[in-house]
Structure 1
């Protein structure tokens, strides 16, 4: 009974140079058939030696240990087959690798788990992919052995140097911790490098919204492009419903709206938070729906934001419009007109009232500005 042989292969695709890294793989050879297993280790062309493996790198000891460990895990499994006199085949090897994940680097594990998760929306997956991309760019937290307190601190320093806001940095650490905890559950990692570490949440920037006068300018703007007019109408619909873009994109009048007396109400579940939300359709929102025969002209989030800049020009605003501003405008409009915060929270589908209180802070900030202006006038 024949069993496979293994060796390390560097840069099989011939892409490595002194400035571009190539991948180290494990080649498994059995009865004329080959399989290549990615190790997650990448080095430059002048950092590889077929006999010594990785050379000319400050991390060569650590990386060579990582390679040896991956080879050892597979060899131990093959030795177990030999002791049990079981036949080797590549399907068995694939199953073994799938359940052990020992050949994966930490960043590969993170990227795989992001795609496997069914408990988050596509937009949330996109934000997690952005976090994973930041780890790749940082390039010091690639392997499980890289997960040290020192590297976590260096990652935090690097994020600050890149100019990220503190809330964004906090969220990146939060996501990193999540996948570290998953790795521990899968027995891929023993210790949590974040244990005992604390990172500030930071303060979120004041939420931007339109005043009643600015919203009227957007509504009344003379727009001669049908495409831009449709974008303006979507913004107005959101400004009078508070519906997020993700929920707008899946909005279906027949499915999501009920008639109660002489009113129409949206009863649905937010994609982002999975919280129920309840909105009475005000007349400006109903006018938009009637205009499009109750089927809104949805476009991509990116195109929506780009074209809102043109809407702002038509309306004579001295600042850009964004999709989020419509939702913030709705919240502040409700609070300004005496709607209870708990009810606004229900309309927006927030998981707790604390999120809604961010809008109240905006109003307080505006009140302070008005008092400062009054002070200047009276003094």
Structure 2
């Protein structure tokens, strides 16, 4: 029996690594080619082995593969009718089929590097609230990923829509795109023979997204609310939300704020240094007097309650301030963007403060929030005095 290795040059990774394939031959019979899972640079491959100073682990892996196949052949050679059976024994032994849920976990693991904690929470919540219930609804909770195809993706989309709980088509699209990405990852890692959903079009009609924020008058009424001694929890929610409105911090950033790590003082300004997950960079946020006063009042302890309780308390405060808008913690960042732009801050600076990786995001979303009061102030400044 002979084990033959060859390089699959048409399946290179972005780094230029190609997969080494193998087949076995015996008495004029040959098995089908199969992947070894070992990759090597094309210029370092010498027909039967890898060359170069760091090639030993690669060649050791090939030697181990050859030894395993030889052992199988010696064990079953008297009972097989074709050499392909030896290859099948090996592949069945070495390549257990991965489930769809486990494959999704691999995607989460791959994407968890350098992103905000809240993003990973969204990934995990989708698996818990939608992917697992869908697989359970079709009676196949442990479905193997190789059986998942475009029909299942379409069923998953309808399963989510029929629940009546999906308020954002953007969330639906991103969720299904993650499932597609998981299948694509499985194919790239050679856990799957094909990407069965690559050509599937999501075909989702988007609803117009409304970006809610407080204008200057609403922000003033919200800040002027008073509370009794028994309503300290509401006062805390009000103060924390105002910090968000004046700094653009998200709920997660507010929760993780550490005065020693995130706060510095210079001659002219006090700053918040915040690492933003989407850009993975440190952003400098000047502390306005309103935000600084609130932080001192809170003694720099900005830990909110659980997000759903925090949002509930924010909405109670909104009701008391006669603000007829459905608010949640993330809209504090919306308000910050609108507040900065309407106050005359250049949009390129607003982009940096908000932590957007592209100016297009700021232009698309926040530039639309410039309200009439911002226009009025600017026209007053330029024309009325004249």
Q: What interval of TM-score do these two structures reach, taking the shorter chain for normalisation?
A: 0.5 to 0.7
TM-fit CA distance, 1:222: 1.1
Match of 2:58 in 1: none
Taking only aligned residues, the RMSD between alpha carbons, in angstroms, comes to 3.1
Once the two structures are overlaid, the 10-residue window that deviates more, 239-248 or 161-170, is 161-170
Q: Give per-residue Cα distances to partners, 1:71-115, cap 9 Å, x unaligned.
A: xxxxxxx99876678xxxxxxxxxx99x95624311233236536
Aligned match of 1:104? 98
Does structure 1 conserve the Cα–Cα contact (< 8 Å) formed by 2:342 and 2:371?
Answer: no
2:174 maps to 171
Q: Is the 8 A contact 1:247 1:271 kept in 2?
A: no
Shift in alpha-carbon separation, 1:101–1:312, aligned structure 2, 3 A:
farther
| Secondary structure, aligned partner of 2:272 | strand
C-alpha distance 117-352 of structure 1, shift in aligned 2 (>3 A): closer
Q: Does 1:137 align with 2:133?
A: yes
In 1, Cα distance between equivalents of 2:370 and 2:144? 47
SS in 2 for 1:268: strand
From 359, 370, 374, the counterpart of 2:366: 359
Give the direction of change, closer, same or farther, for the CA distance of 1:261–1:362 in structure 2 (3 Å limit): same
Structure 2 unaligned blocks of 5 or more: 1-67, 76-89, 375-386
State how 1:122-271 maps to structure 2 within 5 Å. 122-133=117-128, 134-139=130-135, 142-163=143-164, 164=166, 165-200=168-203, 202-203=206-207, 205-224=209-228, 225-271=231-277
Q: 1:188 to 1:253 in 2, by over 3 A?
A: same
2:312 counterpart of 1:306: yes
Q: CA deviation at 1:168?
A: 1.5
Give 1:185 deviation, angstroms: 2.5
How many angstroms apart in 1 are the aligned matches of 2:330 and 2:197?
33
Residue 307 of structure 1: CA displacement? 1.5
Task: Give the structure-1-normalised TM-score.
Answer: 0.65
- 1:285 paired with 2:291, answer yes
Shift of 1:203: 5.0
Distance 1:244 1:210, change over 3 A: same
Deviation sequence 1:268-300 (CA, Å, 0-9, x none) = 211354233221100000001111223324333
Rate the CA distance shift 1:84–1:304 in 2: closer, same or farther, 3 A.
farther
Seen in structure 2, the aligned counterparts of structure 1 residues 258 and 298 have a Cα distance that, compared at 3 Å, is same
2:40 aligned residue: none
Task: With the length of structure 2 as denominator, give the TM-score of the two structures.
Answer: 0.64
Deviation of the 1:316 alpha carbon: 2.8
Are the equivalent residues in 2 in contact too, given 1:308–1:320 (CA < 8 A)? Answer: no
Count of residues in Structure 1 that have an aligned counterpart in Structure 2: 280
| CA distance in 1: counterparts of 2:111 and 2:202, whole angstroms | 26
Distance 1:121 1:83 in 2: 50
Q: Look up the match of 1:11.
A: none
Q: 8 Å contact 1:276–1:346 — kept in the other structure?
A: no
Aligned 8 A contact 1:267 1:278 in 2? yes
Report SS of the residue matched to 1:189. coil
3-state DSSP of counterpart to 1:240: helix
Q: Measure, in 1, the Cα distance between the counterparts of 2:373 and 2:174.
A: 28
Q: Contact 2:97–2:191 at 8 Å: present in 1 too?
A: no
